Structure 1
């Protein structure tokens, strides 16, 4: 059985504020539902391991399928309560890695050396590196063994500047994904704000916003075959 790493945030608040954030629930559940139906196994990982908070804003956008995964004992135990710590995971065991979003990832994904190690290992072993929305933050600083940024020269997408402005978080986030991606050589693509959009460039698959998780999963399933 092919295995996929699903990466989740441990961040509970926006920087030094008291405003809560965390995992955008649907970005995990919609992806997981699709790949599990395709008979892939998933493991849940976070930078620290253990507890994964939910972004309360994401609960406004749930539907029956999101709730079905959310309410499952497997998701609650392995994703939200006892996620694996990135330092304890061997990337060689996995065919793909998927970075979920939620604003929290902006603080704990970009510079985590263990997440970078996992991503580099999977990619250089011929596996797939995928992300949705703010999850692209986990790819921004990953360098290959050659020293080149993973995303350099690649077509990618992620949460855009215009979407960040609409979300009202432009002044609180530590950086803008689109700007950093472009500064590291990525060819950033985008469609209309908050519309489903995903891009594949070889082993790299990225989705623009919270409504693109299923599209990322579908492209990954098709790519792996």
Structure 2
């Protein structure tokens, strides 16, 4: 059995490790992060060239199934994969980690709405954790930003007042608590990524009474099979390899 595993997440790496070497797994990474954490097995890096490119690649590679374990906000590839697999009749599964309960967070639907919320509530010191592409919308903000990302944002996309912190999770609660205190943060801006790796920032914010602005997830394509755990994804594949 040969599968295409759309990855880049800890769940994708865990699934590749669990399946290897019994199932022929080709993990695909978008290539946006230099020096990414690589899964075991065969890896391809870079886009497919849209729906037509993915369709041609699947036909040429002889793939039996596609598992989408990309980030919950990777809406474009998730939608493209769903459409192409449906057209080709290729079994397709989305492995999506459970979302965080929003609690008392200010829930918004986009980066623009997050920027609007920061301005409306007059937050002055913001911990921004929406990724390197999420900074541009805050360029004209009057707030100060602690920007955490795996790779540095483009300089032209940075707010006037900021500090960049380059790091990769998982993060610990005590360290997150210290970070918020050290920088006198009054608002955390985050995407609802879910998972345990970056959850401690929410727990630390709650402990300190720091406001949270949370960008809600884009909806999944209609009528796709979904599971929430690596184990369930492995079982789904096992049922198709018999």
Structure 2 length normalisation: TM-score?
0.42
Structure holding more helix per residue:
1
Q: Which structure has the larger Rg over C-alpha atoms? A: 2
More strand by share: 2
